[in-house]
Copies of this chain bind each other. A is one copy, B any other.
Amino acid sequence: MNGRTGVPVTIGVMERSSTTSGGSARREATRQKLYEAAVTLIAEQGFSATTVDEIAERAGVAKGTVYYNFASKSVLFEELLRHGVGLLTASLREAAEKTAAQGGSRVDALDAMVRAGLVFIDRYPAFTQLYVAELWRTNRAWQSTLMVVRQQAVAVVEGVLREGVAAGEFSEEIDVPLTAAALVGMVLVAALDWKSFQPERSLDDVHAALSRLLQGRVSGHR
């Protein structure tokens, strides 16, 4: 009844993770609305500060509907996490594979992944924000979910680095897990700063700046 159409911050429609194949289209749409509402609210205020009443109101549904569709507030949040990182991982993997298929170098693959990361953050800033805010917390209910999901994403970067080392494109001295984390951090923080403090800049612009840094073209040699 409340004609409340949310902001288009959708986290996307991934294929139902083979849970209940009997998820009707109607129910799915309701869930989608709840995801959208939750992602922005939690990004802004944090999980604990966001109430279920708020989520329901923003989604334009009754509170009872939230509990009809999700077992609890945390379950809703956990599914949000899994889904969002799933999207990112798929996007990174696709970028890497596409580059490889076109005969690009590993540096090119890394660069393509940087861009894919930027595109993702550009599209789902609220999700990214929320993810960063929760990732390094301890003692939380969804910690294990978060770890698993993080590893999936970072593993894609690590994979490319390892291939690069094996192919002699990268120095054998590099520390793969740590370098992967550093690269992810570079993109993450640069992008969040971009969205927060210089939102008018273009993606290409930001990408170019990061490419330069990635390829060591900062120090004047060249």
A-side interface residues, number (CB < 8 Å): 56
Chain B residue nearest to A195 (CB atoms) is B136
Please name all residues of chain B whose beta carbon is closer than 8 Å to the beta carbon of A215 when the two chains form the complex: 216, 219
Judged by a CB distance under 8 angstroms, whether A198 is at the interface is yes
- Would you call B213 and A182 a contact (CB within 8 A)? yes
Interchain CB contact (< 8 A) of A47 among B46, B129, B183, B206: B46
- Would you call B171 and A220 a contact (CB within 8 A)? yes
Listed by A's residue number, 19 A-B pairs whose Cβ atoms lie within 8 Å are: A44-B139, A47-B48, A129-B136, A129-B137, A132-B136, A133-B136, A135-B192, A168-B220, A169-B220, A175-B209, A178-B206, A179-B212, A181-B189, A181-B193, A182-B209, A183-B186, A185-B189, A186-B186, A215-B216
Task: With A48-B46, A212-B171 as known contacts, state yes or no: A218 contacts B137, CB within 8 Å.
Answer: no
- Would you call B212 and A173 a contact (CB within 8 A)? yes
- Would you call A193 and B222 a contact (CB within 8 A)? no
Please name all residues of chain B whose beta carbon is closer than 8 Å to the beta carbon of A210 when the two chains form the complex: 178, 182
Please tell me how many copies of the chain the complex holds.
2
A residues within 8 Å of B by Cβ?
43-49, 107, 129, 132-140, 168-171, 173-175, 177-179, 181-190, 192-194, 196, 198, 205-206, 209-210, 212-213, 215-220, 222
Please name all residues of chain B whose beta carbon is closer than 8 Å to the beta carbon of A205 when the two chains form the complex: 175
- The minimal Cβ–Cβ distance linking A141 to chain B, given in whole angstroms, is 11
**CA–CA, A31 and B68, complex, Å:** 46
Task: With A174-B212, A189-B182 as known contacts, state yes or no: A169 contacts B137, CB within 8 Å.
Answer: no
- The minimal Cβ–Cβ distance linking A168 to chain B, given in whole angstroms, is 6
Task: With A177-B198, A185-B190, A189-B182 as known contacts, state yes or no: A137 contacts B216, CB within 8 Å.
Answer: no
- Would you call B184 and A189 a contact (CB within 8 A)? yes
